[in-house]
Structure 1
Amino acid sequence: MQAAITRVVVVCFLLMTASLAAAPAASSGYNLEVTTSVSTPQETVEIEGDQFTIDGIGVVEPGDPIEIDVTSSKDYRVTLYNTDGDGEYRSDLIDADNDRITIGTQDDDLDTSNLEGTYMLTLEPRGEGRQAVYPVVVQAFDFHLEYPSMATQGETVEFSTTIDSSDTSMVESVEVALWNEAAGDATEITLDSQGDGSYSTTVDLDSYDKGEYTIYGAALSDDEAEGYPAPIAIQGGETMTVSEDDSSDDDNDKKSDDDDKMDTDEEVNESDESENKTDSEDSEPDMPGNETDNGNGVSDMPGNETDSEEGEPDMPGNETTPDLEDTSENETEEHGDDEEGGNETGVINPNEESDNETGDQDEDAVGTPGVVFLAVFLLLGLLAFGSHVREGEQD
């Protein structure tokens, strides 16, 4: 990752400093944008006191014209530069009221059929010098990344693409950047060649923050600009959403619910037994003179003072009485054991485990603020048009 960052820093510095340093300070009243473009994080780039805002890259199929939206208070020209710094096309002076132009048609001498690679559009209002820039990639081949739109923290996901075997000879590498706008973080991965035009790699999302990631990809060519490979096909702007892994919490919640259900069932059973006993005691009418009923619903003989436990009538003079209080105490002790057991089965606290997992996730968050600009610009092809870009003719 450090090597990639260093490469991006050098490339962006060479490109922006060398090609634009001689231009007057850019004005916010000027802008240009290719209508078929990929949106990127907006960055205001300062070069020797001059600022240029870039928030996308034009994507053009070979042979297609380039349609451009222009904002200019003065008549203007547009120029398309290649990676060698040569002008592929320079327009005539265009009226300021014309805010959408198309180049590469039968009405001009620009043909994009054989222009695969990375280019830079510049806007030059009359007498103002360069006031806006916009990168453009003419696709060398069909390029489409495959990856899931939804994923979970801790999951392993695959990023892959397949390039026609006739085109692989011009591919040096395939790079992918994952950008989390909310966190301001990005990371870069390289897809490994699997042969037959297939490129893929797997990414462990264990250390990724939850949220939405915008995915950018580029096929870099073996042709170089200032020693750096130039993009010849790109894709970007689609997203992958990473959600929090709550499977552990769900399992713990289910276990807790099961424990609660078991405790409730035991309490209901005990309540039913108590009701059955009461019903049994009250099921037979008392005989005259009976003071109490025995536990089996059989009436006591006259003169009985107490109930017997086996349900036989007490003989006169029997003084023994079953210890009902002891029975109640025994029942209470048994329920207490159940409650104690319920506490033992409910020891796991899902909230504490979830908090620990979240804390670890935050510490392992991928990316560093500020890397977004660097990682994305590598993929967008802002390469070294540099010192080769000739200063255009000023009117």
Structure 2
Amino acid sequence: MEGNTDKPNDFPVENLPYGVFTGPLNKTVKHIGVAYRDLVIDLNHIANSFDGPLLKDQQHVFMQESLNAFMGLTRAHWVEARETIQRLIRTNDLFTASHSKRPTVQMRFVEMHVPVEIGDYTDFYSSIHHATNVGIMFRSKENALMPNWKYLPVGYHGRASSIVVSGTPITRPYGQTLPVEGAAPHFGPCRLMDFELEMGCFVGGPPTALGQRVTAQEAEDRIFGFVLMNDWSARDIQKWEYVPLGPFTSKNLGTSISPWIVTLEALRPFICDNFPQDPEPFPYLKHNDNFNFDIKLEVDLKPEDSSAYTTICRSNFKYMYWTVKQQLAQQTITGCNLKPGDLLGSGTISGETPDSYGSMLELSWKGTKPLRLLNGQERKFLQDGDTVVLRGYCDNGQLRIGFGSCEGKLLPAVPFTQ
């Protein structure tokens, strides 16, 4: 059977995102899967169905425990795989043909994992509304954006080893902070714990060589797909440590991603106008086509002692000033090599209005405007036990393409002892 068709779903046949899961019968061996309605299609069990001209000799990529080998092929391979899965569903072959093993499992019975072996992770700072808000808070309205911000996509190298899949709890970190300007620093648990509403882009295609550049005009074939991302941030630790080299321990404590990678092909119907850029970018950053996306984003917060989720943010990916193509071009302009499975984070995605700000830092305006939750509690920053849920979807009235959710619970700090 094809699954429940009575309610809207993030994963119609036009979506078919990729993930990695373990099933109820074998919780040790990971399989590559595709989400379809309320089912997971096990590609390991139908690998021989990929018999097209490009994939007939590449069926082994569907039998791996991560998506790296498949992502390391070309866009033409990815398109052929997508068309093959759609044909199997639409002709009902997936559900009626004779398979040596059951090709689908109910989604509620599987455990999802980080779908890619992530070698490198770059986090950008590409939302102009977010960058402006932070600049106003810590500098002034007149000097909100740093002089380089409109000339290049600003980013830093993040910690790939602490990227975790949705549902993994995050522990409040210890670190150095400066509670009072001019006083001595303090060591202890983070007091200003925050989420960041982001999206991540997974890089695909064959590896590039050291010294090889990818311009914005060439970048599309390197973009495999997108996930929701929560870049948990310790704001007080960040403030003390980021000068002069940028974020470090305030960001390496954990970054959550949603388990399903929504492909570029699924998102093409929702491409929208690029954000106007002034001044005109340098030639290596220029591309003439639209490559922004109308992806509706929401953030819910639930305290531990409540069952009520409060929607605290509604934003949209279309507010990005720098496109993913431009981020990839900036990443490689020096000749930095790429590998399939590299991850690019968008940076916090904030909109124009206060209810669209993508972090507690902005929503509470550095703690001066507490948020009131549905259960009557207030929040300036996250408290222990809080669960943060990110959701994203595209909807044009005829088609809905969803990302599922990205969820994490903040646990109390582990006491530090010497």
Normalised by the length of structure 2, the TM-score is 0.26
Larger radius of gyration: 1
- Determine which structure has the larger helix proportion and give its number: 1
- Determine which structure has the larger strand proportion and give its number: 1
